[in-house]
Amino acid sequence: MSEKKKFTLEYELRSSPRILFSFISEPNGLSQWFADDVIFRDQVYTFTWDDEIQKAKLLSIKENKLVKFKWVDDEPHCYFEMEIVQDELTNDVALAITDFATDDTLAERTQIWDNQINYLHSVLGA
């Protein structure tokens, strides 16, 4: 079994950090692009896609900056993080995704994030 390794993706988004933050931290925001349904209770997010349910613990959250989650059934060192990065000169806003995947699943994980961020683009109207 190969070990999961950290990878980072960055997506430029035309949005203010404040608006984007609601889409990465609030259940109703996340349910518009990340999952079909999202429930938040006791620091745990329950994500639903069709017939699949996954729970993630909220590890850290910084207002208008980042959210960091840990899938409850994942390996101890693994987490996923969505960080809002704003260029100081241009004010361009990007979403940096940090996630973990094995060499075998990296392409698939990247494709999933690409698809999710495409949904986010359309929701933001960007």
- Rg, Å, the chain Cα set: 14
Strands (E), the chain: 5-13, 37-41, 44-49, 52-62, 66-71, 80-86, 93-101
Question: Which structure tokens are listed for 99?
Answer: 């996630």
Residue span of the structural domain in which 29 resides: 5-124
Q: Which CATH number goes with the domain that contains 101? A: 3.30.530.20
| Distance spanning both ends of the chain, measured CA to CA | 40
Read off the pLDDT of each residue in 72-91 and give the average, rounded to a whole number.
Answer: 95
126: pLDDT confidence band, cut at 50, 70 and 90? low
Q: How far apart are CA 46 and CA 14, in angstroms?
A: 28
pTM: 0.93
Q: How many domains does the chain have?
A: 1
